[in-house]
Amino acid sequence: MGENAKELPLAAEQGWRNKRTEPTLPEVYRSLRIPKSGSWIKKFLAFAGPGYLVAVGYMDPGNWATDIAGGSLFGYTLLSVILLSNLMAILLQALAGKLGIVTGRDLAQACRDHYSKPVAMGLWVLCELAIAACDLAEVIGSAIALNLLFGIPLIYGVIITALDVLVVLLLQNKGFRYIETLVIVLIVTIGGCFATEMFLSKPDVGGIMKGFVPSTEIISNPTMLYIAIGILGATVMPHNLYLHSSIVQTRKYKQTSLGKREAIKYATWDSTIALFFALFINAAILILSAATFHKAGMTDVADINDAYHLLTPILGTTIGSILFGVALLASGQNSTLTGTLAGQIVMEGFLNIRLAAWLRRLITRLIAIVPAVIVTGLYGESGTTQLLILSQVILSLQLSFAVVPLIKFTSDKKKMGEFVNPLWLKSLAWFVAFVIISLNVYLLFQTFFG
């Protein structure tokens, strides 16, 4: 009682329509204790975890095709684009974490408590479409991996991926740390696969270092620019902003000014370090493509299936293709785990209704699986490739509707109090939003009319 009495009320009582709001993911809300004493390492480890769930969205199967295409066509040149997009993601995810910690609201709840009901409902529909599209890419990625590794027909692979709902439910009932641990294990698996692949492919170290330096050719070459925009536009996933602003609240940090400041610091470290893992994996996919396909003169490899089958003859060992398939399967399964959590957060946050966790996740999976089954049954592999492209287009459309509210809220002194974005951060965030939105508009225009 004494400790709680010292805690401050949630920041920004005057900036929201509702003074208090019920947490999303109530079963794990403030369930993980933070040590009151001990070294900073001990405290950081207590906060570590949510960033890795967020990082999963930046290495999902939807990103693989653009990385493979960029590497096969232009070698290492577009590594600078991957680096730039990752830095943008680090900034936006830090803002999402800060919003959740300071206000006690995730981004969906913040939108509901700020905008009128029709606007909030519109944002909810757009967000559900984006989650379904992202889920679609992950379902198809997992199904392709099962097909490549075990010969399971695509349509059965799509259905098998629905079982991840049971895995999430089982782990969440045991505690949120179990979900975080599984996700980290799968990320390490993906990283290990690609580290081995890079060793086998013997990439040009000098070319890699040069690739991280931006080149004017990216702007002057229309084809290179188009793929670069594809990498940038598909990197920041809108549902990750909703996810991160909620899951940082699984930590039981003190509701004081000092407690929140400490939580923001460690949560930002967590997401930044995790996103550098995502940078490594995305860069590794492009480097592998450049060191194998581009080096061999195969400049038109953009399909995941082709990449899998071509790696064995180029590397001279079947282990190359097997590791690629294992990494793809781990990536798809990891992304579906976080996608189902994001779906629950968005529905509960925008609509303020509570469904049983299993029912919400089943709905999320069906929205993705039904179209995937239909298209796979009718058109086979070619249909799933087109579906992957469509999913990225839908994600691009929705992105600005998540980024703009996030920056708006964290830059509002009434809502954030002493934690409001300083002028330099506000200016940088709006610049990043302008770049992302402009590139996505251009990408969509090129997709439909180019």
Q: Which residues contact 58 (CB under 8 A, 6 or more apart)?
A: 86, 89, 235, 236, 237, 240, 275, 278, 282
pLDDT for res 10 = 45
Given a contact cutoff of 8 angstroms between Cβ atoms, the answer to whether 290 and 71 are in contact is yes
Residue 250 per-residue DSSP state: G
- Rounded Cα gap, residues 171 and 174, in angstroms: 5
DSSP H helix total and E strand total for the chain = 20, 2
pLDDT for res 373 = 73
Q: What is the topology classification, in CATH, of domain 58-449?
A: Amino acid/polyamine transporter I (1.20.1740)
- Rounded Cα gap, residues 364 and 368, in angstroms: 7
For tokens 């670069």, what's the residue?
A: 228
Q: Which residues contact 371 (CB under 8 A, 6 or more apart)?
A: 136, 387
Tell me the H-state helices in 236-356: 238-247, 257-289, 304-315, 319-351
- Rounded Cα gap, residues 157 and 147, in angstroms: 7
pTM summary value: 0.89
Domain boundaries defined on the chain: 58-449
pLDDT for res 339 = 79
Cα atoms found within 13 Å of the Cα of residue 355, Cβ hemisphere only:
18
- For residue 33, the cross-strand partners are 252
pLDDT in tens, the chain (450 residues): 334 434 444 444 568 887 777 888 888 899 989 988 878 899 999 999 999 999 988 887 767 878 888 899 999 999 999 999 999 999 999 999 999 999 999 999 999 999 999 999 999 988 888 777 777 777 788 888 998 899 998 888 888 877 766 676 677 677 788 889 989 999 999 999 999 999 999 999 999 999 999 988 888 888 888 788 777 766 777 888 999 999 999 999 999 999 999 999 999 999 999 999 999 999 999 999 999 999 999 888 867 888 888 888 888 888 989 999 999 989 888 887 787 788 888 888 998 877 776 777 677 667 767 776 777 677 666 666 666 666 666 776 778 889 999 999 999 999 999 999 999 999 999 999 998 888 777 777 776 776
pLDDT for res 388 = 65
Phi, psi of 20 (to 5 degrees): -135, 155
Q: What's the distance, Cα to Cα, between the start and end of the chain in Å?
A: 64
For the purposes of burial, counting CB atoms within 10 Å of the CB of 103, is it exposed (0-12), middle (13-18) or buried (19 or more)?
A: buried
- Rounded Cα gap, residues 346 and 296, in angstroms: 46
For the purposes of burial, counting CB atoms within 10 Å of the CB of 249, is it exposed (0-12), middle (13-18) or buried (19 or more)?
A: buried
Given a contact cutoff of 8 angstroms between Cβ atoms, the answer to whether 278 and 59 are in contact is yes
Query: CA separation (Å) from 249 to 28, 29, 67, 186?
Result: 9, 6, 33, 23
Given a contact cutoff of 8 angstroms between Cβ atoms, the answer to whether 185 and 53 are in contact is no
pLDDT tens track for 173-231: 777 888 899 899 999 999 999 999 999 999 999 999 999 999 888 888 888 887 887 77
Angle in degrees, CA 166, 391, 337, rounded to 5 = 20
pLDDT for res 5 = 38
* Mean confidence (pLDDT) of the chain: 85
